[in-house]
Structures are given as structure tokens and as C-alpha cells.
A = this chain, B = another copy of it.
């Protein structure tokens, strides 16, 4: 367990190395959160990271969404997922799709991306495989401006679980 004292004494580079992966391919979030030290609790650290997302511009938020891989998609098949994403998708049973399921998910993912301009994002560790398919179909019926908020909320849940892992292991 990383102590708060230790976290509060990290250099900017060390802080980024430790927390830069909380948000997928988006190290700028940890960089901005660093300025909010010292953190009085783990919750304060979580809020500092989430606050950097909330205070970001709409363009930066869209870039954050687009930094996420397609679920059980290209990156998974090419072996280029981040370790965190690989583990999350495996836990949700997305590594064990049969060909028909993989094709269906691929088609739904493409439709979602075309419709909204960013990939379908869901916190895979908090949803069953069935819930992931069902939520994807459901969210396809949402308005684009609303769906961006739904996607960001899922990013927040993913980040929260990743942060807990990092704090436990560090």
C-alpha cells in the first residue's frame, strides 16, 4: 500500500510514472492533477484526477474517449492493448468470445463509432459480458451529446478501479 506521505513526496516524473496509466493513453490528466498536492486522502487523489477530466475542454475530453481501444477489437487481436485494458477485457469474458459473438460485437462497435465519433466505452470489470452487449445496444439509441457524458462516466469508473489497484500494489 502506497502511503500518502510517499505519494505526496513524488517528483512530477515519478507521479506520472505511477498514475499516468489511470486514464488510458492520457498521461496529461495525472500531470494536471499533480499540482493539487498534497493529497489528504486517497479520495482526494481520486478527485484531483477526476477534476482534471472535468475541467478539461470538450476537445480534450473527446480525445480522452478516443484514446480508448475498441472492445475485443483490433488492438486486442493485434496484441497492442495496454496491460490494464487487456486484464479488464479478460475479466469481463471478452477474451473468450466465439466467432459469431466477436463478429456481432465488431459490427456494434463500428456502428457506435460511426454514430458518435468515439469508441464504445464501458467499465468491463463492473459489467457481465451480457451486460456489455446489452448496454452497447441500449446506448446506440442515445443522443450524441448525452452519450458523450455517459462515456465519460464510464471512463471515471475505469479510472477509479485502476487507481485502487495502483494504490494497493505500489
Contacts and interface: CB of A to CB of B under 8 A. Distances in A.
Interface string A132-159: 1111011101110011011001101100
A120 interface: no
B142 A126 contact: yes
Q: Which one of A137, A138, A149, A156 has the highest number of Cβ atoms from chain B below 10 Å of its Cβ?
A: A138
Contacts of A50: 47, 50
Interface of A is mostly: helix
B146 A126 contact: yes
Stoichiometry, as copies per complex, reads 2
Given A44-B51, A47-B54, A149-B157, A134 B134 contact: yes
Given A47-B54, A54-B47, A153-B156, A146 B127 contact: yes
Contacts of A132: 138
A47 B36 CA distance: 13
Interface residues on chain A, size class: 20 to 34
A135 to B, nearest CB: 5
A131 B142 contact: yes
Interface in A84-136: 123, 125-128, 130-135
A9 interface: no
